[in-house]
Amino acid sequence: MRKLGIIAVLSLMALALAAVPALADSPHFNRASATLDNTTGNLVVSFKESGLGTNQNIDYLATANASADYQCWNNGGKHPKAGNKATVSGPVSADGTFGSGKNGTISQTLTLMPPDQGAFSCPAGQTLYLQSVTYENVSLTDTTNGIAADLSTGPYSSGTLHIAVL
């Protein structure tokens, strides 16, 4: 009977020790920011999250509502006054899975791209250009742990761009 009591106590101690690492994990974003790259029209979402535990794979999702203006330009570097332009709006997203390593921290970026021009195209002798892009309601979520970062400082607007769409 005494042997059974010792086994029970040792089992409870083992369970208590096994639970300690799980309690040590406390996922939280240390920082998160978004920066518009005016050479590409992309929105780069950078972040650092800690308290993830050792060697954990964590899934992330960045989303936004985006609007992009596209316009045709002729070979002489002029844009025709005709209706050779289009505004495209819609949701955009980027996702990724990253490992926390031995220190339980992830520092990474996700890149949101402007909405595609869809069926809009230029006639022969003209080139399609991205003229401007705006990202609103930008969010970043650690979908593994259900943690969201605050990126409410937007909207992020490019102003005038002139990026050829290949």
How high is the pLDDT of residue 51? 96
pLDDT in tens, the chain (166 residues): 555 445 544 454 554 444 434 434 799 999 999 999 999 999 999 999 999 999 999 999 999 999 999 998 887 666 666 668 889 999 999 999 999 999 999 999 999 999 998 888 888 888 899 999 999 999 999 999 999 998 988 899 998 898 888 7
How far, rounded to the nearest angstrom, does the alpha carbon of residue 39 sit from its chain's CA centroid? 18
How high is the pLDDT of residue 61? 98
Domain boundaries, given as residue ranges, for the chain: 25-164
Question: HSE on the CB side for 163, CA within 13 Å?
Answer: 19
What is the CATH code for 25-164? 2.60.40
